[in-house]
Amino acid sequence: MGITLLLIYMCTIYLGFCHVITDEDYALLPPLYEMDNYTNCKLQKNAYCQVSFTLKPLQNSKTWELIQISKKEKFMFSREVIHRAVCIPGDYEGFEDRKAFVESKINEKLKPLYLSTKADDIVCSVKPSFNLPPSSNTIQSISAKLA
């Protein structure tokens, strides 16, 4: 199939609506993955935690529109859920304290994009493996271990 034919095909299967996502559009999206320095975190005896967040809009915005498109488009990763490996200071010990810490940290960054979020799950002190996009099954199976 020629590239033109493929493009026409992709444009028509989505209700005749062709979404062209530019580099500028991608820059409006929060990164899928971000990681704090693991070595540094462990040296300071802090907790290294993997957290996933489902994004919600504070108000309608271009970013939120793009996230909705990313959920529908087969040739784009869904950008609705983002993953972070966060170094959490050692004095935040309980689950609720850690959750509050990571949520406030990320919401500060998301506010200019008119987004907000709550942590879906928090898995601490596991060396992160971000080689593959984590499936929700994997995350759910390890998150159960956090007491």
Ligand X SMILES: *[C@@H]1O[C@H](CO)[C@@H](O)[C@H](O)[C@H]1NC(C)=O
Q: Which residues bind ligand X (CB under 6 A)?
A: 37, 39-40, 43
| Nearest of 122, 24, 6 to residue 66 by alpha carbon | 24
Q: In the complex with ligand X, which residue's Cβ is closer, 37 or 125? A: 37
Tokens 């200019």 identify what position? 112
What is the smallest separation between the CB atom of 41 and ligand X, expressed in angstroms?
A: 8
Q: Least CB distance from residue 40 to ligand X, whole Å?
A: 3
Closest contact distance (angstroms) between CB of 35 and ligand X is: 9
Does residue 34 contact residue 88 with C-beta atoms inside 8 Å?
no
Tokens of 70: 């990313």
- Smallest gap from Cβ 38 to ligand X, in A, equals 8
Distance from the Cα of residue 47 to its chain's centroid: 20
Rank residues 19 and 42 by Cβ distance to ligand X and give the closer one. Answer: 42
**Angular region, 45: left φ>0, alpha ψ -120 to 50, beta rest:** left
CA distances from residue 90 to 6, 22, 27, 32, 132 in whole angstroms, order as listed: 52, 41, 33, 26, 29
Q: Which CB, 43 or 147, lies closer to ligand X? A: 43
* Nearest to ligand X of 41, 119 (CB atom): 41
